[in-house]
Homo-oligomer: A and B are copies of this chain.
């Protein structure tokens, strides 16, 4: 009855699982860009036009022909004739000839003939006699402008296509749409895009002792946690969870539910009842669902040793331990990467927090441990001025869900370490 499993290292187990998922073109749908935050592009986006599509000034000043300013200095200024003001949001109706200039505002369109802008700070109105500053708008055309600094061709302007060139692939398929991408798409007038549909993950809880959270458990019963904590994790990762309910330790009913979930979803997660017999049943169900079936039974992690990874006809079927902490931690380790693969999302750096471990944490060589930790701001400040955190492990049995609710993140002890020492800087994955 005790389990003797051949334990695989988690990275190897994960790679094996992912290699068995057929990644067909994921289902996509069209969505309006302002509603597309956090969605994944299902298509490459090419720029339909250059950006900007006209030469713009980046400063307030005078549009000039650069060569007219060459050699200009405080002691030997250049003199240019003001022939107009560039209207914002419109094309100027004039051209800059030799010795001429026009008032231009930041973002204004460069008039034909001009190839640079002199900042207002390096200019003076010559024919102005009053003491008080005058509004630029009241400058009489025909005034003379004294320029005390030379500008190079192209200075203080954005050229056509400097942000993006026409036809350029601006966002590849698989891009996660963040505020910057939303803005960039709108800048190009791309107001709808195709995005990947959320990955459907079927969730099944097993165990004679598990009841729905809305019920009052009788003595010996506990409420289903895993369908909900994992459901939230699926949602957070770009999936949509479908709950298939709670199954007592009966093979046939579980098998039928799992088969239905597999046919309706992109992946299935079965959280085992906590007894050994249910765990074995999960493996048997996975074997019955399709080829190749169980890939990994037993992973060298804590918590999560009895985790089962399977693939049935190209879809992942994962058996997680019933203990809520084990289930959720292993959800982060194995379910999230499956969702990301099915979504086709491009790999992104994982955010973490650097912190100073407060105590010694022993581990076992060869095993990867994940500890829930609380991050506490430390009075010290880092060199760069950033906050320093202390990472305080939360000790508690892996069936206590509130050890995770109290945690800011998970601390990994890598398989090649026999522990970590108090005072060491560690990386905490936020949860």
Chain A, interface residues (CB within 8 Å), range: 35 or more
A375 to B346, CA, bound (A): 13
A431 touches B180 (CB 8 A): yes
Residues of B within 8 A of A178 (CB): 232, 236, 405, 431
B107 touches A222 (CB 8 A): yes
A397 on interface, CB distance cutoff 8 Å: yes
* Apart from the given pairs A53-B217, A162-B397, A184-B401, 4 other A-B contacts in the complex at a CB distance below 8 Å: A56-B222, A60-B275, A180-B407, A187-B213
Q: A51-80 CB contact bits vs B (8 Å, 1 = yes)? A: 111101010100000000000000000000
A219 touches B90 (CB 8 A): yes
Given contacts A109-B220, A120-B1, A214-B189, contact A404 B90 (CB under 8 A): no
A426 on interface, CB distance cutoff 8 Å: yes
- What are the 5 tightest A-B residue pairs by CB atom distance, in nearest-first order? A183-B229, A351-B351, A89-B209, A105-B275, A180-B404
Which residue on B lies nearest to A372, using beta carbons? B180
7 cross-chain CB contacts under 8 A: A37-B236, A89-B207, A106-B276, A179-B232, A183-B229, A183-B324, A183-B405
A273 to B60, CA, bound (A): 12
Residues of B within 8 A of A209 (CB): 88-89, 107-108
Residues of B within 8 A of A131 (CB): none
Which residue on B lies nearest to A387, using beta carbons? B349
Residues of B within 8 A of A105 (CB): 274-277
Q: Say which residue of B58, B211, B404 sits within 8 Å of A397 (CB atoms).
A: B58
A198 on interface, CB distance cutoff 8 Å: no
Distance in Å: Cβ of A360 to nearest Cβ of chain B: 15
A311 to B145, CA, bound (A): 40
Q: Say which residue of B179, B223, B276 sits within 8 Å of A189 (CB atoms).
A: B223
A309 on interface, CB distance cutoff 8 Å: no
Interface window among A163-171, A260-268, A291-299: A163-171
B213 touches A349 (CB 8 A): no
A379 on interface, CB distance cutoff 8 Å: no
A349 touches B389 (CB 8 A): yes
Residues of B within 8 A of A87 (CB): 208, 220
A408 on interface, CB distance cutoff 8 Å: yes
A352 on interface, CB distance cutoff 8 Å: yes
Could you say which of A163, A220, A409 has the most chain B C-beta atoms within 10 Å of its C-beta?
A: A220
Distance in Å: Cβ of A234 to nearest Cβ of chain B: 9
Residues of B within 8 A of A387 (CB): 349-350
A163 to B89, CA, bound (A): 64
* Residues of A117-143 whose CB lies within 8 A of B: 119-121, 133, 136
* Residues of A373-421 whose CB lies within 8 A of B: 375, 377, 382, 384-387, 389, 396-397, 399-405, 407-409, 412, 414-417
Distance in Å: Cβ of A60 to nearest Cβ of chain B: 5
A87 to B220, CA, bound (A): 8
Which residue on B lies nearest to A164, using beta carbons? B402
Residues of B within 8 A of A38 (CB): 236
Which residue on B lies nearest to A171, using beta carbons? B405
A207 to B276, CA, bound (A): 68
Q: Say which residue of B2, B120, B213 sits within 8 Å of A2 (CB atoms).
A: B120
B225 touches A183 (CB 8 A): yes
Q: Say which residue of B58, B186, B273, B350 sits within 8 Å of A228 (CB atoms).
A: B186
Given contacts A33-B228, A214-B191, contact A349 B179 (CB under 8 A): no
B106 touches A275 (CB 8 A): yes
A193 on interface, CB distance cutoff 8 Å: no
A346 to B407, CA, bound (A): 14
